Amino acid sequence: MSVRIEQNEILKHFELDTVTESYGNGHINDTYLVTAPRYILQRINTSIFTDPEGLMENIDNVTSFLREKIRADGGDVRRGTLQLVPAKDGRHYYRYDDENVFRVYRFVEGTKSIENSKTPEDLYEAGVGFGHFQKLLADFPVEKLHETIQDFHHTPKRVEALRKAIREDRAGRAGSVQAEIDFALENASWADSVVKGMEEGRIPVRVTHNDTKINNILFDRDTGKAVCVIDLDTVMPGSMLYDFGDALRMGGSTAAEDEADLDKVWFNEGAFEAFAKGYLSEMREALTQEELALLPLSVKLMTYECGIRFLTDYLNGDTYFKIHREHHNLDRARNQFKLVADIAGKEARLAQKLGL
C-alpha cells in the first residue's frame, strides 16, 4: 500500500467498526478479515485494475444475477455467491484516493479455501463449482460486462508483451534466461488457437471467470462441496476454454505453481479426468463440438500463457505478480514450461479420456 491507511478508518465508510487482519493468499489484492460479525475488506489493486468503477459494476451485476438464479433454484443465497456490502453513500466501493479503493463482502461462513489440494474429490468439486458458475451465467448479457483487464487471455498479445520485455530487458536479466525465452518463442505458433476461433466465430463468447484457481472457490467445511466462486475481478467476456484450461494448469500439476524442483512437476491425467467429470456434469450440454475437442489443448495453452506472463514479469523486474523470494517469477515460469512440455506428450491420451 503506497500510503499508510488505517483499515478501521475505511470500515467507517461501510458503517462497520471492528478489527482487521491480513487474510488469504491472493497474489493481487490486499485482503483483510473483519471480525464479529465477519466481513472481508479488500483493497482493489488499482495498478492492475485501472477502472475500479467498471470492475465493481461487473461484480454488482454478476452477483445480483447469480443471487436471483440461486433464489429461483431454491439454493442458499447467503453462500452461493459473493455479496457486496454497500458503503454509506450507496456505492459498492469506497474511494479513499485514486490508488486506494476498497470494497467489503459478507464473509461466506462455514467454508474453507483449498490452496493446493490435488485430490480427485476436490478437483471434481472444483469442476462442478466453476461449471455451475458458467451454467448459471449462460444467459447473462455478456455485452454488459466491462473488460477489466484488456486482452487478459489474448495469448498472442501475451507473446507480444514477452517479445517487448525481451527487447527492453529492463532488469538486465534476458541474457541469463535464454533457454526459457527459446522455449516460449518456439511454442508461440499455436498460441492463437482459442483467440482465432473466437475471432472467426467458431468458439462462442461466454461469461467467463478468467482466474479459475482452486483457491478462488470456497468449499463447504463439512461436506467439501463447492459453495461459492470468488475473486470476480476478471469476470469478462471470454471462452470457457480459458476457465477449463486455467483450472487444470494448477489443479492438474503434481506440484505447486512455484515449485523450483522440476523433477516434482508433472501433469496428472487423473486430475484432468476428475475436474473434467465435474465440469462436464454441469456444462456438457452447453458445449459445442469444437469446445469439447479443444479441452486438452486448453490446459496446455493456459499453462503456456501463464508461463510467459511470469517470464515477462521477471524480465520487467517483477512489477506485476507479488513475489516472496528472489527469482520467484523465474521459478514460476520454469515450472509452467515444464508442465507445458509434459502436457504436450499427454494430449492425445487426455482426449481419449473424454471419449473424443
Q: Using CB under 6 A, list all residues that contact ligand GN1.
A: 26-28, 48, 211, 213, 216, 231, 234, 257, 306
Binding residues for Mg ion, total number by CB under 5 A: 3
C-alpha grid cell for residue 119?
485430490
If we measure between CA atoms, which residue out of 299, 285, 284 comes closest to residue 342? 299
188 binds, among ligand GN1, Mg ion, ligand ADP, none (CB under 5 to 8 A by kind): none
Query: What residues numbered 219-278 form the site for ligand ADP, per CB under 6 A?
Result: 230-231
C-alpha grid cell for residue 51?
477502472
Q: Does 231 bind Mg ion (CB under 5 A)?
A: yes
Distance of alpha carbon 149 from alpha carbon 107, whole angstroms: 26
Distance of alpha carbon 179 from alpha carbon 330, whole angstroms: 12
Q: Does 216 bind Mg ion (CB under 5 A)?
A: yes
Q: Does 246 bind Mg ion (CB under 5 A)?
A: no
Binding residues for ligand ADP, total number by CB under 6 A: 18
Please list the residues that pair with 220 across neighbouring strands: 111
* 294 contacts 242 by C-beta, under 8 angstroms: no
Q: Does 111 bind Mg ion (CB under 5 A)?
A: no
Q: Does 26 bind Mg ion (CB under 5 A)?
A: yes
* 340 contacts 267 by C-beta, under 8 angstroms: no
Window of 19-27, 146-154, 233-241, 341-349 that interacts with Mg ion by CB under 5 A: 19-27
List all residues 6 or more positions away from 322 whose beta carbon is below 8 Å from its beta carbon.
27, 28
Radius of gyration of the chain (CA): 20
Residue number with CB closer to ligand ADP (94 or 183): 94
Residue number with CB closer to ligand GN1 (332 or 346): 332
Burial class of 16 by CB neighbour count within 10 A (0 to 12, 13 to 18, 19+): middle
266 binds, among ligand GN1, ligand ADP, Mg ion, none (CB under 5 to 8 A by kind): none
CB of 77 to ligand ADP, least distance (A): 14
Distance separating the N- and C-terminal Cα atoms of the chain: 49
Q: Does 233 bind Mg ion (CB under 5 A)?
A: no
Residue number with CB closer to Mg ion (31 or 187): 31
Distance of alpha carbon 356 from alpha carbon 348, whole angstroms: 9
Residue number with CB closer to ligand ADP (106 or 163): 106
Number of neighbouring beta carbons within 10 Å of residue 50: 13
Cell 473483519, residue located: 34
Whole-angstrom CA distances from 78 to 31, 53, 108 are 20, 24, 7
Per-residue binder mask for ligand ADP (CB under 6 A), 98-137, x = binder: -------x-xx----x------------------------
Window of 18-26, 134-142, 180-188, 265-273 that interacts with ligand ADP by CB under 6 A: 18-26
Distance of alpha carbon 77 from alpha carbon 345, whole angstroms: 43
Chain position whose Cβ is nearest to Mg ion: 231
CB of 69 to ligand GN1, least distance (A): 24
Residue number with CB closer to ligand GN1 (76 or 259): 259
Which residue type, as a one-letter code, is found at position 229? V
Query: What residues numbered 166-185 form the site for ligand ADP, per CB under 6 A?
Result: none
- Beta strands 30-34 and 39-45 are antiparallel
- Binding residues for ligand ADP (CB under 6 A): 23-24, 26-29, 31, 40, 82, 105, 107-108, 113, 215-216, 218, 230-231
- Binding residues for Mg ion (CB under 5 A): 26, 216, 231
